[in-house]
Amino acid sequence: MSIFELFQGVFSGKGSGQYPTIEPFEYLETLSFISDGRPFIRLEQKTKKTDRVTPLHQEVGYIRVLEGSELELVLVQPTGVVEVAKGIYSEEDASATMEFRSIQVIATPSAKPVAETLRTYRLASETLTFEFHMAAAQQETQFHLRSDLVREEA
Interface residue list for ligand HEM (CB under 6 A): 15, 17, 19, 21-22, 25, 27, 29, 47, 56-57, 81, 83, 112, 114, 117, 132, 134, 136-137, 144-145
Write down the least CB distance from residue 126 to ligand HEM, Å. Answer: 20
We find the least distance from the C-beta atom of residue 5 to ligand HEM, in angstroms, to be 25
Nearer to ligand HEM, 117 or 129 (CB): 117
* Least CB distance to ligand HEM at residue 41 (A): 17
Distance of alpha carbon 97 from alpha carbon 3, whole angstroms: 9
Could you say which DSSP state residue 21 is in? T
| Cβ closest to ligand HEM, residue 7 vs residue 100 | 100
- Nearest distance from C-beta of residue 16 to ligand HEM, angstroms: 9
Q: Can you tell me the distance from the alpha carbon of 125 to that of 61, in angstroms, rounded to the nearest whole number?
A: 24
Judged by DSSP in three states, 142 sits in strand
* 65 CB-contact burial (10 Å; exposed 0-12 / middle 13-18 / buried 19+): buried
Helices (H), 35-130: none
Distance CA 12, CA 30 (A): 4
How many angstroms separate the CA atoms of 47 and 58, rounded?
Answer: 6
Rank residues 34 and 56 by Cβ distance to ligand HEM and give the closer one: 56
Instruction: Tell me the β-bridge partners of 16.
Output: 26, 146
Minimum Å gap between C-beta 124 and ligand HEM is 20
- Which of 9/15 has CB closer to ligand HEM? 15
